[in-house]
A and B are shown apart, each in its own frame.
Chain A
Amino acid sequence: MARDDIPTDERLDLRLERTIDAPRALIWKAWTEPEHVKRWWAPAPWTTVDCRIDLRPGGIFRTVMRSPEGQDFPHETCLIELVENERIVFTSALAPGYRPAAEHLGDDCTGIPFTAIVTFTERAGKTHYSAVVLHKDEAGRRRHEELGFHEGWGTCADQLIELVRRLRR
Chain B
Amino acid sequence: MTNQPTSLDRVFHALSDPTRRAIVSRLSRGPASVSELAKPFAMAMPTLLQHLKVLEESRVIRSEKVGRVRTCEIEPGALGRAETWIARQRAVWEGRLDRMEAYVAGLQSEATQGKEKKHGKR
Contact = CB atoms under 8 A, between A and B. Distances in A.
Nearest to A133: B93
A40 B16 contact: no
Contact of B92 (A31, A109, A129, A154): A109
Which of A14, A150, A164 has the most chain B CB atoms closer than 10 A to its own CB? A164
Interface in A120-165: 129, 131, 133, 135, 141, 144-145, 149-150, 153-154, 156-161, 163-165
A33 to B, nearest CB: 11
A153 B75 CA distance: 10
Interface string B81-98: 110111111111111111
B12 interface: yes
DSSP class of A's interface residues: helix, strand, loop or mixed?
helix
How large, as a class, is the contact surface on chain A? 35 or more
Interface stretch (B33-41, B44-52, B62-70, B99-107): B99-107
A26 B110 CA distance: 12
DSSP class of B's interface residues: helix, strand, loop or mixed?
helix
Contact of B97 (A129, A160, A165, A168): A129
Q: Which 6 A-B pairs have the closest CB atoms?
A: A163-B91, A40-B99, A157-B28, A154-B28, A40-B103, A164-B15
Interface of A: 10-12, 14, 16, 18, 20-23, 26-27, 29-31, 36, 39-41, 43, 109, 112, 114, 116, 129, 131, 133, 135, 141, 144-145, 149-150, 153-154, 156-161, 163-169
